[in-house]
Structure formats: C-alpha cells, structure tokens
Structure 1
Amino acid sequence: MTVALETVLAKAGLRISPVQFAEMIEEATRRLSPATPDPADYFSAEQRDTLTEVGLDLTPRRPDEVDSRARAVAAQTVLRDSALTVGDAAQAVGVDTSRIRHRLSAGRLAGWKDRGGWRLPAWQFAASGVLPGLDVVLRAVPSDQPPLVVAAFMTTPQADLRINDEPATPRQWLLAGGDPTPVAALASMLGTPA
C-alpha cells in the first residue's frame, strides 16, 4: 500500500511521504464532521418535517455507501500540500516577502493562515509570476468562499470559457491571455444556487 501511495503522490507531483499524507488526511477528516453524521441532527423537528415533505432524504448514510467526505478530504489535503509559503511565493514572483503579504492583505493574492504562517494556493501562480488577471477575478469572489471552493472553480473546465472550442478552466483561460472579465463574472456566482 505504501509503495502504491508513494507512486500516486509522486505522479501527482506532491512532495510528501505516504505517512505524512495519511496524517494530513486523518487531521482533515477529524475537522470535517463526525465519522457517521446523522443529517437529521443538524435541523430542528420543524425543519426536518419541512425538508422531508419536499423530498429531502435525511436518513444516515448506509454502511455500503461511499463516504462523501473522502473526496473533500483528498482535495483539501492536496490543496494544502501544494500551497506555497510566503517565502516560496516571493521567490516565484521575484519580489520581497513583504510584497506578498501586502498583496494578500489587499486581496490581490488568495491565501489562508495555517500553522506556521500564510499558505498560498499554487493555482494562482504561473511560470512568469502571478496568473494574469488574477486581481480582477479575486475581487469578484464572494468573501465567504473557502479556498477549496475557489481552487475547484479555478481548475474545473467551465462551459462559458472555451479555448479551441473546448471548455477551459479559468486558470487555462487566463494563462492563454483571455479576458479576466468573464472569469470574474463566473467567480462572483460562487456559493449561489445554480
């Protein structure tokens, strides 16, 4: 198992040992929710009745069902492991660390505070520095959206962004020199019902 996981981590470009990866998954899982959450416990009796009336299934997960937390834990672990420190980001962009901190406080770079300082998602950097048009996109992202949601958006093909008639991710669109305005319009809708 360790060799297989080591191979998967290496193919994904993650610089982490299988043991460290497993520890991160365990920590992320603990923070997400109880191992066997009962959806009904999150609502009052009146809310449960209303939700059940409109067809929402509030029964606990069956033992044979895949735990929906697994994908979220894996994605969160990869996001955290691939994120840059302030020093790494400064080196990638070619500026002083104080400039990176200033960009974070001004909302021109995305990041979160973690043990040991700021972490900056790797998706926002390009070989030549910061992703073109990033500041326009980040201004449009609702402030209540967590880093994992923003990362998923930036790295998932969007039907409205097309390169060579194929759906492109917002990151690909911006790297190809696309106008950041349509990406910002899509980003502004994060967290709203479809």
Structure 2
Amino acid sequence: MIDHDPQPLDVISDALLRKKGIALSSEELLRRKGIDMSVAEIFELVLRQVAELPDVEERTRPELPERQTRERLRALGITFEPFEGENDPLASTIAAYSDVLAASLSTAEAARIMGVNASRVRQLLTASPARLYGIKPDARSSWRIPRFQFDTSGVIRGLDRVLAVLDTALHPLEVVTWFESPCPDLVVDDDKPVSPIQWLRAGYRVDDVVEIARRLS
C-alpha cells in the first residue's frame, strides 16, 4: 500500500460517524464489522476504483466499459446508461466492488482459518486452476480473499471443483454475486432456491454446482 498519514482521514471519518450518531471510532467500527483494513487502505481502494471510471465526457461512448464486461454486469441488474445523481449505476458498481474488497480476508487471515501458513494460501490462489478464489485489484495490491469460501472448519467442500470450471474472465463482483445469490436450479426440500455456496455448505451434490458454473460466461 502507499504510505499515508492516517490521522486526517481518521479525524474526518470519526467526525462523520459522530454526525450519524455512532459513538465508535472508524477503526473500532471496522474491527467490529470484521474488516481488517485501515481507513487509509479503504480510501486508497476506493480511489483506485474511481480512477478506472471513464471521464464524464466519455461516458456516452459505447465501448466504455468493455462490451463483454457490460453484458455480464447487466445480468446482475447493473446498467451503464449515463446518469447524473447519487444513484449513478457506475458509481454504485464501484461502491459494491469496494465493499467486496474491504470485507474480504487477507492471506494471513485465510491461513488462520485453514490452519496453514500464508504461503500455502498463496499457492492455492495461484494454482492452475485456482483452488481458492482471490482478487488482486492491481499488481501492487495484496490478495483479498472473499469470505464466502469458508466455514468454521476451513474451505467449503467442493469449492475447488467449482473454481476449476469457472470462467476466469468473469469480473470479481460477478463471481461473488453468483456464489451468494439464490439460483433457480438449486432448490432444497421446501422448494426454496438457495445460493451455490449455501448448496455446497449444506453438503448437497457438488456436481450440480459444477454444471451450472460451467455454463457461466
């Protein structure tokens, strides 16, 4: 991460929390929510994502963002029409992606859950195919590992088989949303659709999720 003087950001963040009636400091709030990042690190992640947005005068160009990415994100209910205001879908997408990064685990945190060392976690992340799903926002960033992959005993059973067939071109926001969203093809006894990760966590057939994942593109 880039070196920051965190004090000004902490002061501003704490003041904003007090205005919302929250007595905790920003760092205390982050720890309570299970986010092992500083205010400065979260601010940097957001800035990096904002830097990837097209300029205002470019937002009507059909090639921005790249067409396949737009189509995939549209499947999640995200649109890319020019819009002025606080509900701008581009800004919402950036915010959602930043939330995923901020709530994800570091390699050290994942290692503690799995009972291995951090180097083993990195091996799983970089295996071909990957046996653990991780996100690197850019070459300078550390791995961020979405929490959905773990239960109290470690990595969810069958996850590596699903990752082996998952399209590596999928956007991280797409991957996390798909794993955590109810799927009409995965129905439990009460006819209620569950998410792929709920299905795996409950011990149902891994092959069912693998086949669905194979069709994603």
> What TM-score does the superposition give when structure 1 sets the normalisation length?
0.75
Preserved CA contact (<8 Å) 2:83 2:89: no
Q: Which letter maps to 1:13?
A: K
Q: Tell me how far 1:73 sits from its aligned partner.
A: 1.3
Change (3 A) 1:176 1:66: same
Name whichever structure is richer in strand by fraction: 1
Change (3 A) 1:66 1:92: same
Describe how 1:50-69 pairs up with structure 2 within 5 A.
61-63=82-84, 66-69=87-90
Q: Tell me how far 1:13 sits from its aligned partner.
A: 2.6
Residue 33 (structure 2) aligns with: 13
**CA RMSD in angstroms, aligned pairs only:** 3.2
> What TM-score does the superposition give when structure 2 sets the normalisation length?
0.68
The unaligned stretches of length 5 or more in structure 1 are 44-58
Change (3 A) 1:36 1:188: farther
**Which stretch has the larger CA shift, 76-85 or 12-21?**
12-21
Preserved CA contact (<8 Å) 2:110 2:121: yes
2:182 aligned with 1:154: no
2:120 aligned with 1:99: yes
Preserved CA contact (<8 Å) 1:5 1:18: no
The whole-number CA distance in structure 2 between the counterparts of 1:61 and 1:77 is 21
Q: Which letter maps to 2:122?
A: R
Residue 131 (structure 2) aligns with: 108
- Share of identical aligned residues, percent? 31
Preserved CA contact (<8 Å) 1:37 1:60: no
Q: How many residues align?
A: 176
Preserved CA contact (<8 Å) 1:14 1:81: no
The unaligned stretches of length 5 or more in structure 2 are 1-14, 65-79
